[in-house]
Structure 1
Amino acid sequence: MRKTDIVKQGMMRISEVAKAAGVSLPTIHYYTREGLLFPLLKTAHNMAYYSPDCVEDIRLIKEFQSKRFL
């Protein structure tokens, strides 16, 4: 899949997700390792694309953490 196809489908790079959600890259990596987030497409060992829905998922995770649910 070409990069232009990925962008057209609305997928976001990890840095874009982190910026939109207001969290750090290590936070995204941690959530992915723990099974809280899932990349839609892994194009390489160090490159993955996420759905824009992940931004809202991260906000919910942070809200649950603040209320001590996680």
Structure 2
Amino acid sequence: MRLEDILKVVEGEEIDFVMVEFGGERGMNVGEGLEKGGVRLLGRWFERVDGLEDGDLLYELVDEVNLADGKGDRGD
């Protein structure tokens, strides 16, 4: 299902919010598109989930909540 199709259903059915299964590329892309399209996401918000995919943002979050971590290098 394409993002455009999902947005049409949300609008046509007057849906207040959606839950997106974040796991994999499609879920991330659809979640971002829905959020940018003004759809309220229930549960985790996209920026935090996306941040977990970005090593630098993940380390910022770990520092922010004072978690002990085993920082290491990552391949590019």
Structure 1 or 2: more strand by fraction: 1
Q: When the two structures are superposed, what TM-score results if normalisation uses the length of structure 1?
A: 0.24
**Rg comparison, structure with higher value:** 2
Q: More relative contact order in 1 or in 2 (CA 8 Å, sep 6+)?
A: 1
